[in-house]
Amino acid sequence: MSNQRQGLLTLNAGSSSIKFAVFTVPELKQLLIGQIDSIGSIAAFKAKSSDALINEKYEWSQQDAPQNHADALKWLIEWLNLRMANLKICAVGHRVVHGGQFYSEPVLINDDVLHQLESLLALAPLHEPHNVAGIKAARESFGEIAQVACFDTAFHRDQPFINDTFAIPRHFYEEGVRRYGFHGLSYEYISKNLPELFPEHAKGRVIILHLGNGASMCAIKDGRAVSSTMGFSALDGLAMGTRCGNIDPGVLLYLMEFKGMKAKEISDLLYKESGLKGLSGISNDMRTLEGSDQPEAKEAIDYFVSRVKREIGSLAMALGGLDAMVFTGGIGENSVNVRKAVLEGCEWLGVEIDEANNASGQTVISSEFSSVLCLRIPTNEEGMIAAHTLALSNLSIPTMSS
């Protein structure tokens, strides 16, 4: 007999990628993190273990590359079995972008749940189909082990009606056309960890800025969502890497009526060609724009920052004041310049930045004289998925196998 540890796998299936992480059970110590990118094209793989014993990168030739999520997941499982032979995957947790009006918390996946998720494909056409494809592929590969859906919209389901609706005929709201909000797993992670770090501020009025290629902000009071910048889809609110953010609906009517654009063309424009990429004409990557001397790059960054500042004002009003702000996500965690530019516009709220702390990436980036605590806290959506999956899967005792 030999010890075989229980493991838990988290999957985040995007439009052309699968991000994954492996955790021990029941400790939830992260063993491995990685991703497969450009599925359907020249796919690339990378993975790194926490002990640095695994640090692999691989790029397929186009003819050998996995052409869909099922193929990519099958390859990943074979790779895991080879590299982590002493680990038995006993549960799988999935990030699912949209839970619609049905799900306000994670849920064990069964045939009925899967069927209901398929009914939501139209609400998130660029995300949900791939989330569902990842679930189907995992069920096929892992059989009867517990699988859990963790929803990006669930954290926002308790928002008040006035922050959850649009001013269109009410029957659309009843049919599910409402403000869902996204990045909920990130907000949940920060909200659950903030009380340990700053308990008094965690009870107060907090704005979390999840700034990355996808970007949004959320107003939170006593750990619960009050309002979010994202709405019915992941397009609303802030400008993002390739997404437009807030836009006058009249622009869309103009594109349809006078430019003759079809829904698919408009969808591609708003989701894939806009945001920082469209504004700059250079890149959707903030690092590239910050390193560019082109005026269009600076203008794109300035626009991004200006929208963040406007939303801070809006969310502070929804909260009735502000006690803390938390920067997270790829840009929020790593861009010294963006954090500085945002906070330097918030003196009217009582914010005072500590430039040295900000430059060195400290947790607290506001000065001792600031009436608003400003923080930089890395998010961990994979860890949040793992925690929910463990709780619902009833896994606790390591198994023994020969």
Query: Residue 291, Cβ neighbours under 10 Å: how many?
Result: 10
Task: Find the mean pLDDT for residues 84-110.
Answer: 93
What DSSP string describes 177-203? -S-----HHHHHHHHHHHHHH-HHHHT
The pLDDT of residue 4 is 78
For residues 84 and 78, what is the distance between their CA atoms, to the nearest angstrom? 10
Question: Does residue 73 sit in the same domain as residue 204?
Answer: no
Kindly compute the dihedral angle of the four CA atoms of residues 283, 65, 74, 128, in this order, to the nearest 10 degrees: 40
pLDDT band at 63 (very low <50, low <70, confident <90, very high): confident
**Same domain flag for 132 and 62:** yes
**Mean pLDDT throughout 71-94?**
90
* Whole-Å CA distances, 260 to 264, 285, 396: 12, 31, 58
What pLDDT sits at residue 401? 33
Pair 75, 208 in one domain = no
pLDDT at 388 over 60: yes
Residue 170 domain-assigned (yes or no): no
The two three-digit tokens of residue 191, written as one number: 């909200």
Q: Is residue 400 part of a domain?
A: no
Together in a domain, 105 and 241 = no
- Tell me, what's the pLDDT at 124? 82
Q: Is 139 exposed, middle or buried (0-12, 13-18, 19+ CB in 10 A)?
A: middle
Res 382: pLDDT: 94
Q: Are residues 56 and 146 both part of a single domain?
A: yes
- 130/240 same-domain check: no
Q: What is the CATH number of the domain that holds 323?
A: 3.30.420.40
Give percent of the chain with pLDDT exceeding 70.
97
Quick: pLDDT tens for 141-153.
Answer: 888 899 999 999 9
**Which of 124, 151, 178 is at the close of a domain?**
151
Phi-psi region of 259 (alpha: psi -120 to 50; beta: other; left: phi over 0): alpha
152 is known as an active-site residue: yes
Same domain, 238 and 101: no
**Residue 163: pLDDT above 50?**
yes
Q: Are 228 and 349 members of one domain?
A: yes
- Quick check: 386 and 20 in contact, CB under 8 A? no
Residue carrying structure tokens 């659309």 = 172
Q: Please say if the pLDDT value at position 190 is more than 80.
A: yes
Q: What is the pLDDT of residue 262?
A: 97
Q: Report DSSP letters for 145-173, one per residue.
A: SEEEEEESSGGGTTS-GGGT--SS-HHHH
| The pLDDT of residue 106 is above 70 | yes
Name the DSSP class of 224.
E
Residue 47 has pLDDT above 80, yes or no: yes
123-145 mean pLDDT: 86
243 neighbors 271 (Cβ within 8 angstroms): yes
pLDDT tens by residue, 280-303: 999 999 999 999 999 999 999 999
Residue range 373-377: average pLDDT?
A: 98
Estimate the crossing angle of helix 128-142 against helix 111-118, to 10 degrees: 160
Q: What average pLDDT does this structure show over 128-151?
A: 90
199 shares a domain with 110: no
**Active site residue: 64, 152, 222, 302, which one?**
152
The verdict on residue 224 lying in a domain is: yes
Tens of pLDDT along 333-352? 999 999 999 999 999 999 99
Least confident window among 36-45, 220-229, 328-337:
36-45
Three-state SS at 356: helix
Torsion of CA 230, 235, 238, 239, to 10 degrees: 170
User: Quick check: is 349 in a domain?
Assistant: yes
Report residue 346: phi and psi, to 5°.
Answer: -115, 20
Q: What are phi and psi of 40, to 5 degrees?
A: 95, -10
User: What is the pLDDT at residue 2?
Assistant: 54
Q: Which of 151, 167, 187 is the last residue of a domain?
A: 151
Same domain (yes/no): 351, 266: yes
- Place 71 in a pLDDT band, splitting at 50, 70 and 90: confident
Reported confidence tier of residue 134, pLDDT bands at 50, 70, 90: confident
128 and 212 belong to one structural domain: no
- What's the rounded mean pLDDT across residues 41-53? 92
Tokens encoding 195 = 């009380």
396 has a pLDDT exceeding 80: no
pLDDT of 398 higher than 80: no
Structural domains in the chain (count): 2
Q: What confidence score (pLDDT) does residue 287 get?
A: 95
In this prediction, residues 214-221 reach a mean pLDDT of 96
Tell me which of 39 and 317 has the higher pLDDT.
317
pLDDT of the residue at 402:
26
pLDDT band at 311 (very low <50, low <70, confident <90, very high): very high
Residue 399: what pLDDT? 37
Residue 132: domain span: 2-151
Tokens of residue 305, six digits: 């920052």
Read off the pTM.
Answer: 0.92
* CB distance 247 to 236 below 8 Å: no
Q: Cβ distance 49 to 60 under 8 Å?
A: no
Q: Does residue 355 have a pLDDT over 70?
A: yes
- The residue that leads in pLDDT, 385 or 398, is 385
Q: Kindly state whether residues 12 and 90 are assigned to the same domain.
A: yes
> Does any domain span residue 157?
no
Nearest to 296 by CA among 282, 286, 306, 309: 282
Q: Rounded CA gap, 333 and 337, in Å?
A: 11
Single out the residue of 115, 95, 122 nearest to residue 186, CA to CA.
Answer: 95
pLDDT band at residue 1 under the 50/70/90 scheme = very low
